[in-house]
Structure 1
Amino acid sequence: MMRAGPIAVALFALLGTARAEQAEAPVREPYQLLRKLHALQDEIARGSMEAHNAQSAVLKQLGEDFVNADPVVWKNPKNARAAVTYLLSGGSPEVVGKLRAHGELAIDAAILDGAIAYIEGRPDEARARLGGIKPRDLPVSIAAEVALVQSALAAQDDAKAAIDRLDEARLLMPGTLIEEAALRREIFVAGQADDFDRFEALSLRYLRRFRSSIYSENFRQRLGRAVARFSFAQQPQRFPRLVALLDQLDGADRPSLYLRIARTALVNGKVEMADLAAERAMTLTDEGSAGRERGRFYRAAARVVTHAHEEALLDLQAVEAARLPERDVELLRAVLAVGRNVRKVRPVVTAQQDAPSESQPSMGPRIDFSPSRATINRAQALLNESQRQLKQQER
């Protein structure tokens, strides 16, 4: 973890300065005071845990300074915007409420009301107030914060609008914690929208630019949990690009991630993707480990409905159920039920149909699921239940 930079060190010293010494310093405008919070947040984006730990104290001090400021200063639009930025950066809504009660804040009421509604958990009101605001028409000092809020309000219902606002936030405040946060959010919105190209490009950019951010570890963990649920993670043609991206993650995280992708693909019937992901997981795990056993199980389960049926069934029968997670034990029974009821059928050679020639290649074995339909239905029910449990666990 990076140590706090010179800016953060100076801020820590400032917090420890006696009030008597502060009184001798020139009075600073609220928008000037806010700069120390921005400087601290930029240190956080660079990986300073000390800066992160100091943030709450800085916000508290700013709140006190804002409340004690001469009410006339809030007639300056710069200071009014600073109050909203303070609020959207984690500041106290009570502080902004006091400022509003004591005098007029020189800012568009829609922005102020929308920001307060958003922080207080009233998204419909926030959406109504902020929906018509165009961030690029605002001063940079507040535009990026408003764009971030708008993206959060749009994320569930309008992925494109959310992505547009996040793009604006990133471009308005490059190299800051605003860009770092916007990148993190946009990556997952792009994944949910099945925009693999954007997801890939932004993930690589984040890992290149903000690898040291104190939020990067949480980002990697979320990425690992979420990527298996994205539909592009079940498309075999994209697997090499997915591997190149996931190789940027910590080595210890990757085996479990590929196992998660393999299982998700399996219960969704994406056997080719399940096979690829399971094979990849096996290359990243040690022989004899529980992870290797799971990878072998998922690979065999994927292949049992292919031309490698016989070998896969032998592998399934050799799987040690006691070494699998509990939720996989029932899945193993279901897959075995399917595998044991699969029979291979070769075409009948008639009198007019001699041995196949080069112009008539022999047909490979095909899979017929018709025997023991009750057993197959039972297996499918078990697969469906397993999928339901997976979704509940990964929420």
Structure 2
Amino acid sequence: MIYLSIMALALLAVLGAARAEEGEAAAREPYQLVRSLQSLQDDIARGNLDAHNAQRGLLKQLGEQFQQADPNLWKDSRNARAAVTFLLSGGDPQVVHALRSRDLLSLDAAILDGAMAYIEGRPDEARERLGGVRARSLPAALGAEIALVQSALLAKSDVKASIDRLDEVRLLMPGTLVEEAALRREIFLVGQADDFDKFEFLATRYFRRYRHSIYAGNFRQRFALSVARFSFAQQTARFPRLVGVLDHLDGASQRALYLLIARTALVRGKTEMTVLAAERVLALTEDEDSPARGRAELYRAAARLVTSGHAQALEDLQQIDAGRLPEQDAELLAAALKLGRTVRKALPTVSAKVDVDDGVPTAMRPRIDFSASLGAINRAQQLLDESGAQLKERNR
């Protein structure tokens, strides 16, 4: 059944009343309207699609209310701060420009200038203006938004500082869409920094609190792609802890994630990770004819082609019906079969370099290089993105 969230209805009521009649002065206070907007956005973090669809129109109405507000209201510092929060929450920058041109916003120039520079795509100026601002010295809502911006501005130049700012966001605004956004960003940053303990903690927190978020579907896809790229994904001893993180998801989401992890690892030659992830899919899939099961069997067999189980792997591949696979996996099956028949030939001499995937000297086993074997479909990233369609089922 389609319905508007309680928060969306409340905000519509507030805005409608403000537009229809004079009403009480408090109903037109910008900071109160922004609080209502934040409540609506928090509803988005809880998975309310109607709230998400209503957000654009509500932001527009908020901007109109700001422009029509009594100029004396802006003397209140809470309302001036609300204008910046509105801006950083997706509001129209022209509204804030207009207020500023009328000299109505009594606010630290560094904060106002920095926020405007960030929204308008001037990162160097934004870093200069916001660099000295201490987010925790500000009221929580504005401080969290500023820390989120600071983190984005530092992400490429100073990962540790960027992570620290996101920690501040989470402390300032727990249980909100702002925290949800901070978690999504921080999980990837700590993964890049190879901090598995923190990655595990943050990912568990996200999946516990925000697995129904409107943005969770896209996040899960990026999460799976990233997991296979992080160096800790090469350490199979940590896989049980990764399983513990994903256990917070429903079965369908887990299967989709493990399939993405398995395929990503396979394309990158991480055979043990491929097998572990594929076997998790099989353990989560009871239906023998399930498409997910067929894909998992493909990935597992392809990964085992260059192991002592080569003969069985090739036999397993030959038993897979290509007609039951998505097009990209049917192509992968063809490439795997070709590779499987080639592996029987004598191997060229290679150095005894130890591979970090499983500690086995490379000279003792060939590497899978599907990016070369696939030839015309040497577009692994595109194929992985297409696989992400499995993640778009509606959250319950």
Question: TM-score of the superposition, structure 1-length normalised?
Answer: 0.80
Partner of 1:26: 25
Partner of 1:207, secondary structure, is helix
Relative to structure 2, which stretch is displaced further, 49-58 or 124-133?
A: 49-58
Aligned pairs, how many?
A: 366
Partner of 2:242: 242
Partner of 1:203: 203
Q: Output the CA distance in 1 between the equivalents of 2:331 and 2:104.
A: 60
Cα 1:378/1:288, change in 2 over 3 Å: closer
Question: What are the Cα deviations for residues 313-347 of structure 1, in whole angstroms up to 9, with x where unaligned?
Answer: 4334444455552440453145214422258xxxx
Partner of 1:314: 315
Q: Is residue 3–residue 48 contact of structure 1 (8 Å, CA) maintained in 2?
A: no
Q: Is residue 337–residue 379 contact of structure 1 (8 Å, CA) maintained in 2?
A: no
Partner of 2:345: 341
In the alignment, residue 309 of structure 1 is paired with which amino acid? H
Cα 1:192/1:330, change in 2 over 3 Å: farther
Partner of 1:307, secondary structure, is coil
Partner of 1:95: 95
Shift, 1:86, TM fit:
0.8
Shift, 1:148, TM fit:
0.9
Shift, 1:157, TM fit:
3.4
- Are 2:37 and 1:37 equivalent residues in the alignment? yes
Higher Cα radius of gyration: 1
Partner of 1:260: 260
Q: Is residue 111–residue 129 contact of structure 1 (8 Å, CA) maintained in 2?
A: yes
Q: Is residue 8–residue 51 contact of structure 1 (8 Å, CA) maintained in 2?
A: yes
- Are 2:304 and 1:303 equivalent residues in the alignment? yes
- Are 2:381 and 1:391 equivalent residues in the alignment? yes
Shift, 1:118, TM fit:
1.6
Partner of 2:117: 117
Q: Is residue 269–residue 368 contact of structure 2 (8 Å, CA) maintained in 1?
A: no
> Which aligned pairs between 1:96-175 and structure 2 lie closer than 5 A?
96-175=96-175
Shift, 1:390, TM fit:
1.1
Q: Is residue 130–residue 150 contact of structure 2 (8 Å, CA) maintained in 1?
A: yes
Query: RMSD over aligned Cα, in angstroms?
Result: 3.3
Q: Output the CA distance in 2 between the equivalents of 1:380 and 1:10.
A: 54
Q: Output the CA distance in 2 between the equivalents of 1:102 and 1:56.
A: 25
What percent of counterpart residues are identical? 58
Partner of 1:157, secondary structure, is coil
Q: Is residue 262–residue 277 contact of structure 2 (8 Å, CA) maintained in 1?
A: yes
Partner of 1:332: 336
Q: Is residue 272–residue 302 contact of structure 1 (8 Å, CA) maintained in 2?
A: yes
Q: Is residue 74–residue 103 contact of structure 1 (8 Å, CA) maintained in 2?
A: no
Partner of 1:362: none
> Which aligned pairs between 1:49-60 and structure 2 lie closer than 5 A?
49-60=49-60
- Larger relative contact order (Cα-Cα within 8 Å, sequence gap ≥ 6): 2
Partner of 1:17, secondary structure, is helix
Cα 1:297/1:174, change in 2 over 3 Å: closer
Shift, 1:143, TM fit:
0.6
In the alignment, residue 328 of structure 1 is paired with which amino acid? L
In structure 2, stretches of 5+ residues that fail to align are 348-361, 386-396
Q: Output the CA distance in 2 between the equivalents of 1:317 and 1:24.
A: 74
Q: Output the CA distance in 1 between the equivalents of 2:18 and 2:110.
A: 39
Q: Output the CA distance in 1 between the equivalents of 2:92 and 2:371.
A: 51
Cα 1:284/1:383, change in 2 over 3 Å: farther
In structure 1, stretches of 5+ residues that fail to align are 344-365, 370-375
In the alignment, residue 303 of structure 1 is paired with which amino acid? R
Partner of 1:57, secondary structure, is helix
Q: Is residue 33–residue 62 contact of structure 1 (8 Å, CA) maintained in 2?
A: yes
Q: Output the CA distance in 2 between the equivalents of 1:160 and 1:378.
A: 35
Partner of 2:278, secondary structure, is helix
Partner of 2:392: none
Shift, 1:290, TM fit:
4.1
Q: Is residue 40–residue 55 contact of structure 1 (8 Å, CA) maintained in 2?
A: yes
In the alignment, residue 100 of structure 1 is paired with which amino acid? R
Question: TM-score of the superposition, structure 2-length normalised?
Answer: 0.79
Q: Output the CA distance in 1 between the equivalents of 2:111 and 2:43.
A: 28
Q: Is residue 67–residue 99 contact of structure 1 (8 Å, CA) maintained in 2?
A: yes
